[in-house]
Amino acid sequence: MNTQSDRIIIFDTTLRDGEQSPGATLNVDEKLLIARGLARLGVDIIEAGFPYASPGDFQAVQKIAEVVGTEDGPTICGLARATQADIKRAGEALKPAAKGRIHTFIATSDIHLKYKLKKSREEVLAIAPEMVAYAKTFTNDVEFSPEDAGRSDPEFLYEVLERAIAAGATTVNIPDTVGYLTPSEFGGLIRGIKENVPNIDQAIISVHGHNDLGLAVANFLEAVKNGARQLECTINGIGERAGNAALEELVMALYVRRQYFNPFLGRPPESEAPLTNIDTQQIYKTSRLVSNLTGMTVQPNKAIVGANAFAHESGIHQDGILKNKLTYEIMDAESIGLTNNQIILGKHSGRHAFGNRLRELGYELSDTELNKAFLSFKDVADKKKEITDWDLEAIVNDETQQP
């Protein structure tokens, strides 16, 4: 296996870690809609859920495996604690997928061992390879995570990873579970793993990180420079507590600054080839879809997908932009799929322009829903000169939430 690829694998966990955001619960149909959007976006792997957690999550993973996990679609992954019951359930849910992955994990930090697992290091050293080997009886593609790796003793971590790889893990994922590390520490951790785990070349190094200190994306970029080749991230950065590393920020950093990152991936510095498989023009649409279905709004100043990310307010900036966009913009709004279109929706607009704008905002409405929303739109348009995206979202949410 070539584990030193010059491409970055995007592992999306919006439907698993992202769904663990308080209040963001999704039903099977909503998860399927998002999974389709993620496939259009071009993610390599979709972590579709935690099948043992609930019958609903089992069904969602199974449905996504069947509908989205086709031969030319993304790999579908299910999370499992390092227990036979969890792994078996994940294996069953993933059966319909052309490419299925089991992601199994056990904590390795002394804090987690003492207070949560109540297990010794020796026990964890035995369980990790045993459960990886069990997962291999369901699929060849097994990912292993030492939870809370960021606060684990590195020497112990190296040993656990070596055993997990020897048992067949093809990806080893290094989670900064509580978002504690700084970028140079995270980069150093990945470098230490590369230098001290003897069989590390037999696995892809992945990273997973939370945003408790707002450092997840910066940490991942340092990890890439030190050998990480898979990034676990979520749309809009949703996830436990302060969330996960945001997919759109990582992908656009690797896109806009590709020439800076090229040498770390063994590429010629001037290469223009993208570093990920993501179709960046799908980013805005996918962000809206996730925000609409989870009910988690995106802050206006959020990098890449916030309402102000491409807006210019001050006279000096507006003047500069009108003379040349390069003065205050490092990327085009078009590159994330914003059309910059000048169509202003108002009372003279037709159903076609209205439907198009809703699709750009990430809404996939049935004909009946669209007709109802269009009537409400005409009502509002009679009272207002110009209809903003916020108005449109309010109209659609009102209409689609009514019985």
The annotated binding site for Mn(2+) is made up of 17, 208, 210, 244
Is 11 strand, coil or helix?
Answer: strand
Q: Closest CB to ligand KIV among 171 and 280?
A: 171
- β-sheet bridge partners, residue 47: 77
Contacts of 15 (CB under 8 A, 6+ apart): 26, 31, 34, 35, 38, 46, 47, 48, 49, 60, 64
Residue 354 contact, options ligand KIV, Zn ion, none, Cβ 5-8 Å cut-off depending on partner type: none
Q: Closest CB to ligand KIV among 145 and 226?
A: 145
Cα 216 from chain centroid (whole Å): 12
Q: Closest CB to ligand KIV among 172 and 309?
A: 172
Write down the least CB distance from residue 169 to ligand KIV, Å. 13
The interface with ligand KIV within residues 197-216 (CB under 6 A) comprises 208, 210
What is the residue whose two structure tokens read 């969890």?
86
Rounded Cα gap, residues 17 and 59, in angstroms = 17
Residue from 11, 105, 363, 377 binding ligand KIV (CB under 6 A):
105
Residue type for position 403: P
The interface with ligand KIV within residues 127-146 (CB under 6 A) comprises 145
Token reading at 259? 């020439």
Q: Closest CB to ligand KIV among 151 and 267?
A: 151
Write down the least CB distance from residue 209 to ligand KIV, Å. 8
Q: Around Cβ 297, how many Cβ atoms within 10 Å?
A: 12
Q: Closest CB to Zn ion among 103 and 357?
A: 103
Rounded Cα gap, residues 351 and 99, in angstroms = 40
Site membership for ligand KIV, residue 112 (CB under 6 A): no
Residue type for position 224: V
Site membership for Zn ion, residue 17 (CB under 5 A): yes
Q: Exposed, middle or buried, 338 (CB in 10 Å: 0-12/13-18/19+)?
A: middle
Site membership for ligand KIV, residue 17 (CB under 6 A): yes
Residues in the chain: 403
Q: Closest CB to ligand KIV among 19 and 249?
A: 19
Q: 3-state DSSP: the chain helix, strand, coil percent, rounded to 5? A: 50, 15, 40
Write down the least CB distance from residue 175 to Zn ion, Å. 6
Write down the least CB distance from residue 78 to ligand KIV, Å. 12
Token reading at 150? 């960021």
Q: Closest CB to ligand KIV among 86 and 147?
A: 147
Q: Closest CB to ligand KIV among 246 and 395?
A: 246
- The secondary structure of 329-359, three-state, reads CCCCHHHHCCCCCCCCCCCCCCHHHHHHHHH
Rounded Cα gap, residues 130 and 166, in angstroms = 10
Residue from 177, 236, 276, 294 binding ligand KIV (CB under 6 A):
177
Write down the least CB distance from residue 176 to ligand KIV, Å. 8
Residue 372 contact, options ligand KIV, Zn ion, none, Cβ 5-8 Å cut-off depending on partner type: none
Residue 145 contact, options ligand KIV, Zn ion, none, Cβ 5-8 Å cut-off depending on partner type: ligand KIV
| Buried b or exposed e, range 240-269, using 16+ CB within 10 angstroms | beebbbbbbbbbbbbbeebeebbeebebee
Rounded Cα gap, residues 160 and 375, in angstroms = 61
DSSP annotation of 403 reads: -
Binding annotation: 17, 208, 210, 244
Site membership for ligand KIV, residue 78 (CB under 6 A): no
Write down the least CB distance from residue 105 to ligand KIV, Å. 5
DSSP annotation of 210 reads: B
Site for ligand KIV (CB under 6 A): how many residues?
8
The interface with ligand KIV within residues 145-164 (CB under 6 A) comprises 145, 147
Residue 143 contact, options Zn ion, ligand KIV, none, Cβ 5-8 Å cut-off depending on partner type: none
Rounded Cα gap, residues 174 and 208, in angstroms = 6
Contact residues: ligand KIV, CB under 6 A: 17, 105, 145, 147, 175, 177, 208, 210
Contact residues: Zn ion, CB under 5 A: 17
